[in-house]
Amino acid sequence: MTRWQKIRVPFLTILMVLLIDQGIKIWIKTSFPLEHHIPNVPFGQFNENKAELLFIENPGMAFGVEFGGSYGKLVLSLFRILAAIFGVVYIVHIIRKQEHPGYIFSVSLIFAGAVGNIIDCAFYGLIFSESDIEKAAVLFPADGGYAGFLHGKVVDMFHFPFWHGTFPDWFPFWSGEPFEFFSPIFNFADASISCGVVLIFLFQKKFFKKIISPEINAISEKDPQVTPPLAEQKLHEAPNAKDT
């Protein structure tokens, strides 16, 4: 197997996720004002959309979750960068170990999603003007960006408010308050991370299936009552018995 064949799956996966993620974010940020709905919802009108693009920005974690103010933002950005470095090392490791292609693909999805949001945090504050509810942002504004390095905001846009309701009066903490499912607003990078995690969870037995050596198979075939783990134990005990 050539080097290209080994890295083709993770390379193309990461490249495609980043291109799609950044393409959507740049289009949204430079085309629409903050909190703009697509399809449009006039101000003051109830949102009847079941699937929409809703442009928001958040300085925190995935799915619009915020974290710890300015210092928390810096810590989170640095953590993401360290995690991305670890991700590169880990992907190289599992490629060399020739892990299941599906597992490599899943890890690549998670890594690409993380990098997609790191790009927002690291560079969007430098290359975009501030977005507000009246006008779209400008790419490479003449007077500079809206924030420093690692202090950019993550662009989110996918919103699926399938169902609106109200918590019953007997419900603790939120009784009588309005309820929306699914309320988190996310981006393509978040979706990539989630898909990678779900794939690993669903196919973990297939991805982490232990390869049984021919020697262990031979022992199990001779005696069906000897399970592969017991056959492996006997195989390890045999050299030790000869030494004694």
The catalytic residues are: 156, 190
Burial of 119 (0-12, 13-18, 19+ CB in 10 A): middle
Separation between Cα atoms, residue 128 and residue 29, nearest integer Å: 9
Phi-psi region of 175 (alpha: psi -120 to 50; beta: other; left: phi over 0): beta
List the one residue out of 212, 237, 239, 238 whose CA is nearest residue 227. Answer: 212
